[in-house]
């Protein structure tokens, strides 16, 4: 690598260990230890889940704190990012599972997410990007819609209860009093899963157990979400929004033409919040990493970089399904930059790595096989990996 090389460090978080910013900082320190002459830039990324707002803030967006209802209804402070009429909102830091001491799989709600959205449109945001991921609830986005002004009632006209359990009695969705700013704004759902709302790959059966749901809870939530889907599609029609092969969003009108909303890839994201966003907010669904790369101006930042370092907790088959490192790799390759991955563990062989644009993968497990110790000392291990990368790249 040439003298005065330019290195861009753009990792996602190492879940349960370090934030994306902490990963980038540790790697940068290691590289500078060995090559102080290199220009090293840190640009943390995310895939639409927790860390999405932090990525925007790291790229210079303005932080906006707001008091909202947490997943269980207790007040909490969330934050989002704004710039030039755009807002980046993150479900995880308002009503995410990580905000709870104990999970409440039946009673957790997305109401607080809706409150963040209201604050954003009240400040003049005409485009709202919603990062889906890390949710505590399986309420089909009903709480979010209630905060936006929707009236959701049972057959007697009474408001339904909180969370997914409340959907078991839902009978009517009234959007007459939806917040006017919400009607004017455009919405983008940043999502890294393609699960539909219902069925064996749906929100209840796949994700609810991760939020503390028992088998009986899952059965209840699946039935409740099915009832909710019927009510929503009766209110708005079953139009669909989906991707073309080129990644552009196309839409079909009501009447069930095309892919039904409940079957739409990503409808099951964040406990069914994806479904509510597609149905009521008329949102466009985009891969989370693509949205984040746009938000942080990655295409501009990567131009002229000699080396890009990305990574996440595990580089494996899920990474290749569209996680953050793959998105970074593709964008970096388009800019003719060399790409190195860093992870807690790397489960892909060199041939597969090269096929997907990675020149190499360095893992914490190589330096510390004990996972508990590796996670506890991740920052120092990453610094060591940064040093090794600098030496290895310098020799080529």
**Which of these three, 262, 290, 318, is where a domain ends?**
290
Let me know whether 57 and 34 are in one domain. Answer: no
89 and 132 together in one domain: yes
CATH (domain of 303): 3.40.50.10350
> Pairing state of beta strands 127-131 and 186-191?
parallel
pLDDT band at 4; cut points 50, 70, 90 = confident
What the block records as the tokens of 84 is 């030039």
DSSP summary character for residue 14: B
In the prediction, which pLDDT does 238 show? 64
In angstroms, rounded to a whole number, what is the distance separating the alpha carbons of residues 35 and 37?
5
Give the C-alpha separation, 49 to 90, whole Å. Answer: 7
pTM of the predicted protein model:
0.91
Q: What's the pLDDT score for residue 322?
A: 85
Q: What is the pLDDT of residue 240?
A: 47
**3-state SS of 286-350?**
EEHHHHHHHHCCHHHHHCCCCEEEEEEEEECHHHHCCCHHHHHHHHHHHCCCEEEEEEEEECCCH
pLDDT in tens, 325-364: 999 999 999 999 999 999 999 999 999 999 999 999 999 9
Please state, in angstroms and as integers, the Cα–Cα distance from residue 258 to each residue in 28, 228, 269, following that order: 48, 20, 20
Whether residue 59 is found in the same domain as residue 111: yes
pLDDT attached to residue 244: 31
Do the beta carbons of residue 70 and residue 78 sit within 8 Å? no
Give the pLDDT of residue 172: 97
Task: Inform me whether the pLDDT recorded for 313 exceeds 70.
Answer: yes
Give the DSSP per-residue string, 131-199. Answer: E--SBS--STTHHHHHHTT-EEE-TTSPBPPSHHHHGGG--EEE-TT--HHHHHSEEEEEES----SSS
Bridge-based pairing of strands 75-83 and 127-131 is unpaired
Residues 369 and 286 in one domain: no
The domain in which residue 315 lies consists of 6-45+297-394
Provide the pLDDT confidence category of residue 253 given band limits of 50, 70 and 90: very low
Q: pLDDT per residue over 380-390, tens digit each? A: 999 999 999 99
User: Do 278 and 194 share a structural domain?
Assistant: yes
**Whether the Cβ atoms of residue 239 and residue 283 lie closer than 8 Å to each other:** no
Element of type H or E holding 225 = helix 215-236
Do the domain assignments include residue 1?
no
pLDDT in tens, 145-184: 999 999 999 999 999 999 999 999 999 999 999 999 999 9
Query: Residues near 155 by Cβ (< 8 Å), separated by ≥ 6?
Result: 169, 171, 172
């Amino acid at each position: 690598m040439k003298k005065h090389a330019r290195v861009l460090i753009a990792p996602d978080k190492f879940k349960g260990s370090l934030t994306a910013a902490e990963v980038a900082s540790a790697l940068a320190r290691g590289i500078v230890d060995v090559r102080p002459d290199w220009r090293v830039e840190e640009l943390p990324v995310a895939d639409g889940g927790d860390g999405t707002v932090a990525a925007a803030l790291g790229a210079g967006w303005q932080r906006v704190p707001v008091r909202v209802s947490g997943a269980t209804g207790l007040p909490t402070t969330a934050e989002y990012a704004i710039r030039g009429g755009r807002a980046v909102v993150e479900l995880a830091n308002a009503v995410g599972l990580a905000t709870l001491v104990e999970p409440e799989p039946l009673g957790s709600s997305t109401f607080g997410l809706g409150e963040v959205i209201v604050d954003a449109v009240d400040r003049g945001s005409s485009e709202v990007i919603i990062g889906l991921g890390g949710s505590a609830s399986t309420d089909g986005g009903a709480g979010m819609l209630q905060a936006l002004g929707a009236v959701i009632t049972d057959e007697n006209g009474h408001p339904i209860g909180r969370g997914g359990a409340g959907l078991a009695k839902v009978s009517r969705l009234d959007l007459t009093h939806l917040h006017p700013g919400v009607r004017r704004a455009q919405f983008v759902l940043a999502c890294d899963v393609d699960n539909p709302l219902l069925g064996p790959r749906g929100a209840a059966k796949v994700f609810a157990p991760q939020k503390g749901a028992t088998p009986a809870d899952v059965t209840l939530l699946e039935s409740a979400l099915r009832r909710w889907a019927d009510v929503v599609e009766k209110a708005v029609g079953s139009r669909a929004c989906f991707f073309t092969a080129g990644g552009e969003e196309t839409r079909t009108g009501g009447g069930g033409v095309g892919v039904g909303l409940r079957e739409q890839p990503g409808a099951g994201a964040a406990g069914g919040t994806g479904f509510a966003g597609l149905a009521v907010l008329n949102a466009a669904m985009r891969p989370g990493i693509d949205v984040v790369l746009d938000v942080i101006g990655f295409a501009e930042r990567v131009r002229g970089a000699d080396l890009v370092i990305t990574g996440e907790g595990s580089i494996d088959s899920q990474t290749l399904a569209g996680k953050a490192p793959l998105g970074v790799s593709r964008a970096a390759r388009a800019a003719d930059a060399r790409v190195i991955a860093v992870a807690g563990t790397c489960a892909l062989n060199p041939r597969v790595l090269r096929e997907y644009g990675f020149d190499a993968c360095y893992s914490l497990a190589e330096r510390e096989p004990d996972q508990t110790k590796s996670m506890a000392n991740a920052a120092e291990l990453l610094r060591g990996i940064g040093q090794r990368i600098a030496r290895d790249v310098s020799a080529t």
